[in-house]
Structure 1
Amino acid sequence: VKFHWKPLLGVHSVAWEEAQQISGKDPDFHRRDLWEAIQSGNFPEWELGIQVVAEADEHKFDFDLLDPTKIIPEELVPVQRIGKLTLNRNPENFFAETEQVAFHVGHVVPGIDFTNDPLLQGRLFSYTDTQLIRLGGPNFHEIPINRPIVPVHNNHRDGFMRQTINRGKSSYGPNSIANNDPQQVKIADGGFSSHNERIDARKIRARSKSFFDHFSQAKLFYHSQSVFEQNHIIDALSFELGKVKTVAIRERMVGILMQIDQDLAKTVAANLGITSLPKPASILNHSIPADGDPKDYQPIVKKPSLKKSEALSMANTIKDTIKSRKIAFLIADGVDVASVNEMKKALEDKKATVELIAPKLGLIEGLKNQSLTADESFLTAASVLYDAVFIPSGDKSMVMLSQEPDAIHFINQAFTTNYIR
């Protein structure tokens, strides 16, 4: 079983240049966006989905299901929606309710057991160890934000910061002094049961050869992207590798990109000033055990069963809603208040958020002796923090905005990102 959280508003992102500007304008942008969405009643929602593969079908795929770097394309195994998560309130105390949260992959409900995924097996150990150190002791599960809603009965007692006051003399079983309590719950009554898996093999300390398929799903991912998404990937690779000063390392990375897509490698190489593609290296993987033969540790070449997966591209995400989108209204003295209110109501009826931005904070005098209160000024806001810009009518307001350098910059910046209206 693979678990998925599917956002009901789709999967969206910001472009490279936007991300750089946002990090300077508001380093808490994403946290603030989440907080304000919840506060305004636009509760973020995700549906819980599962991909279920019958045990008999474990080896029918052209990749190893236990390889944590692999996904199961939704075209091969559809995601079944089985639940929903809604964030419907903000924390009252950020430290107590957020910083002290102790997630753990070992906390499962009856009916779920653990696979032999090596990454999962490592986390089953490390998460407990992490919380022991991070939260000060073995009783981190009794901190209010981590405490189960229903009582939990187990053999745990004492330890630093223990809050439960256990009654009785024994914390073990079997015993003869407490009517044999505590005792394990029978499987028929909901007790935990491990999956009975048959294994006919030798256990060795080595990585499965099936884990050496490094490129088939990298190809699938890249070929599933739209043209503009591929261009973003090319720009990102060119930027990062452009910071590498050793030419040989740049060429080696281009050689790796050749394993994914020739055009991708050619374009990145050209951006790096590499005039010709390097010859394919006989040794790509240099992480070889002391007694290993390098040939045995090289990537295996597999042709993916799918050329594209629609679910991997954000171009195919949900776009028919403006719920939780943030719209900037640029206003100044002389603005048509009726125009502002009409558009504001239309957008808010669709669950969008509107903020009024003016040359200064405070009251803005509009037409017909009406006024508005600015939410932000051009000094405290930037167009990169908004999804769209609207300039209401009002001749005097437009003249004032046209003479305001910060307003011109705001509009120009919005125009270059193609979302001005």
Structure 2
Amino acid sequence: MDNKNKPNHVKEKMTNQQGHPVTDNQNVRTVGDRGPTTLENYDFLEKISHFDREKIPERIVHARGTGAHGYFQSYGTINGEPISKYTRAKVFTNTEVQTPVFIRFSTVVHGKHSPETLRDPRGFAIKFYTEDGNWDLVGNNLKIFFIRDPLKFPDMIHAFRPDPVTNYQNLERMFDFVSQSPEALHMITFAFSPWGIPASYRHMQGSGVHAYKWVNEEGKGVLVKYHWEPVQGIKNLTQEEATKIQGENFNHATQDLYESIEKGDYPEWELYVQIMEDGEHPELDYDPLDATKLWYKEDYPWHKVGKMVLNRNPDNFHAEVEQVAFGTGVLVDGLDFSDDKLLQGRTYSYSDTQRYRVGANYLQLPINRPNHQVTTNQTGGQMDFRQDYGDFKNPHVDYEPSITGGLDEDKNPGVEHEPYVEGNLQRKTISRENNYGQAGETYRRLSDWEKDDLIKNLVSALSDCRKEIQDQMIEHFYQCDKDYGKRVEDGLKMSIESNKEMMEDAVRDAEEMGHPSDPY
């Protein structure tokens, strides 16, 4: 009988994982009723052994998150032209299908039970189960990043995390790193503005952050950036609003998403792309592959290309949200990489961390398995449970090439995109860093109240930092924009005086109140 049609009062009989009936789930087997216990408590030993291992290692970053199922529908055109002019990817060219998706939203720096009100970027990762296999678009809510070189990623995360000795977050560590990494100023400007704390996952933007490529039938490639806009509107929190919510519910964003979908209020996002001819673009004062930079709308318009709808919650949080595995290298035909160094570094790291976290055969799990048939000569590894081993059985061929059987190459690929690459192998930063230009422009584009909130948040965060870090950050802000630097500098001077007065008042109050009595 289908479980859904069974009466509520009918219960399945409990078994252990070998399928054996469990006749007593309340008591271990002991000598007498007081013990000691005996070693042959098989059900207990199996139960507790599994319990000891029921949590997989949490993600190194993006540990705190939630997710949902849905679909993506392509509109098939860009400004009235067929989208096939730019890409042959069927997920965009085939408008007759709704591509299933699974999305995971997350925070970045802290652990899996940290509050969802922290000032932190939000992950926005989508797995498309396309007819050509899986495509993962792994991004954030903000459109840029702190760094441009993958070699610095572990340092950045270490600086932003809690102190390894005290285990509490010390923002001096973060600003120490940022003060020596001026490319991070643009992201800092966004993160400490009202854009730094989304009100919920349903009300935040998403972005692929990096420049990718689209490739058409002729093998011609263009650079592309992806942007998700919430149909239900954009909402962010001030620090005061976030603090109030955190005191009442540190799961507010997860709860909001789950309950909205359960009641049929399905969140939607429209997908926009920006397109740029591939090349160095010397006319720009920044490198278009630099992940710390925006492509401004007035220079590279946003084109609406599709819509995503989330309409089903996970059936099992661990099996789906925790074990879902994304990678920036998971692309389908018609989609390609750019030369962005940070993107290429992430492409190795993401798949590598999934093998560590979930296991060598993480792609066999239902949440990660493509809808497209998988036939590969790869075999073995822990928890290998696939049934389709290509043509292993008749004859026994698990290699290629072979004249006796086995798998063969796909002889009908599209025209390969062949970008021309030439140059010396070097360890150098990009030639057009321009670390201050867009950070200053972003500051000037903020409304007055957004500027006020940004300055207040920065002053609060910097006020506990040592003076040399404060001075270095003030110098950076001045180079972004004179008003930006002056307001942070003036705010810190006022904060120092105010803190001094508060400390004197606190000492005086403590002396007057004396010490409380010991209740024990």
TM bucket (normalised to shorter chain) is 0.5 to 0.7
> Offset at 1:171?
2.4
SS at match of 2:247: helix
CA contact (8 A) 1:113 1:194 kept: no
Amino acid at match of 1:173: E
Indicate how the Cα distance of structure 1 residues 135 and 265 shifts in structure 2: closer, same or farther if over 3 A, else same. same
CA contact (8 A) 2:443 2:484 kept: no
> Where does residue 78 of structure 1 map in the other structure?
301
Indicate how the Cα distance of structure 1 residues 194 and 4 shifts in structure 2: closer, same or farther if over 3 A, else same. farther
Distance 1:247 1:183 in 2: 65
Distance 2:429 2:480 in 1: 23
Indicate how the Cα distance of structure 1 residues 256 and 95 shifts in structure 2: closer, same or farther if over 3 A, else same. same
Amino acid at match of 2:252: F
Amino acid at match of 1:148: P
> Where does residue 163 of structure 1 map in the other structure?
385
> Offset at 1:201?
2.4
Indicate how the Cα distance of structure 1 residues 154 and 59 shifts in structure 2: closer, same or farther if over 3 A, else same. farther
* Counterparts of residues 93-108 of structure 1 (less than 5 Å): 93-108=316-331
Distance 1:230 1:155 in 2: 57
TM-score by length of 1: 0.60
Amino acid at match of 1:183: D
> Offset at 1:157?
2.0
* Counterparts of residues 280-359 of structure 1 (less than 5 Å): none
> Do structure 1's residue 136 and structure 2's residue 359 form an aligned pair?
yes
Match of 1:89 among 299, 303, 312: 312
SS at match of 1:259: helix
Distance 1:2 1:217 in 2: 17
> Where does residue 111 of structure 1 map in the other structure?
334
SS at match of 2:493: coil
Distance 1:71 1:170 in 2: 50
SS at match of 2:422: coil
Q: Where in structure 2 are there 5+ consecutive unaligned residues?
A: 1-223, 496-520
> Do structure 1's residue 175 and structure 2's residue 402 form an aligned pair?
yes
Distance 1:157 1:222 in 2: 53
SS at match of 1:273: helix
Amino acid at match of 1:239: S
CA contact (8 A) 1:251 1:274 kept: no
> Where does residue 410 of structure 2 map in the other structure?
185
Higher strand share: 2
Q: Single out whichever of 115-124 and 57-66 deviates more from structure 2.
A: 57-66
Distance 2:308 2:267 in 1: 8
> Do structure 1's residue 237 and structure 2's residue 458 form an aligned pair?
yes
> Do structure 1's residue 220 and structure 2's residue 447 form an aligned pair?
no
SS at match of 1:272: helix
Amino acid at match of 2:409: Q
SS at match of 2:235: coil
TM-score by length of 2: 0.49
> Offset at 1:227?
0.8
> Offset at 1:62?
2.1
Q: Single out whichever of 216-225 and 158-167 deviates more from structure 2.
A: 158-167
| Count of paired positions | 267
Distance 2:383 2:306 in 1: 35
> Offset at 1:67?
0.9
> Offset at 1:143?
0.4
Between the two proteins, what is the percent identity of the paired residues? Answer: 36
Indicate how the Cα distance of structure 1 residues 71 and 154 shifts in structure 2: closer, same or farther if over 3 A, else same. farther
> Do structure 1's residue 68 and structure 2's residue 288 form an aligned pair?
no
Distance 1:59 1:146 in 2: 41
> Where does residue 387 of structure 1 map in the other structure?
none
> Offset at 1:174?
0.9
Amino acid at match of 2:440: K
Indicate how the Cα distance of structure 1 residues 227 and 12 shifts in structure 2: closer, same or farther if over 3 A, else same. same
Distance 2:244 2:307 in 1: 34
> Do structure 1's residue 52 and structure 2's residue 275 form an aligned pair?
yes
1:23-45 CA-to-partner distances (Å, cap 9, x unmatched) read 12100011111111111211111
> Offset at 1:149?
1.2
Distance 2:346 2:416 in 1: 18
SS at match of 1:20: helix
> Where does residue 207 of structure 1 map in the other structure?
429
> Where does residue 198 of structure 1 map in the other structure?
420
Distance 2:281 2:407 in 1: 39
CA contact (8 A) 2:462 2:470 kept: yes
> Where does residue 398 of structure 1 map in the other structure?
none
1:53-105 CA-to-partner distances (Å, cap 9, x unmatched) read 11257443221011111111111111111121111011111111101110111
SS at match of 2:306: strand
> Offset at 1:158?
2.2
RMSD: 1.8
> Where does residue 402 of structure 1 map in the other structure?
none
SS at match of 1:86: strand
Indicate how the Cα distance of structure 1 residues 269 and 57 shifts in structure 2: closer, same or farther if over 3 A, else same. closer
> Offset at 1:194?
5.0
Distance 2:249 2:292 in 1: 33
> Where does residue 467 of structure 2 map in the other structure?
247
> Where does residue 479 of structure 2 map in the other structure?
259
Q: Where in structure 1 are there 5+ consecutive unaligned residues?
A: 276-421
CA contact (8 A) 1:49 1:81 kept: yes
Indicate how the Cα distance of structure 1 residues 58 and 142 shifts in structure 2: closer, same or farther if over 3 A, else same. farther
CA contact (8 A) 1:3 1:51 kept: yes
Distance 1:231 1:218 in 2: 16
Amino acid at match of 1:215: Y
CA contact (8 A) 1:43 1:86 kept: yes
CA contact (8 A) 2:268 2:307 kept: yes
CA contact (8 A) 1:49 1:79 kept: yes
Structure with larger RCO (C-alpha < 8 A, sep 6+): 2
CA contact (8 A) 1:38 1:44 kept: yes
SS at match of 2:294: coil
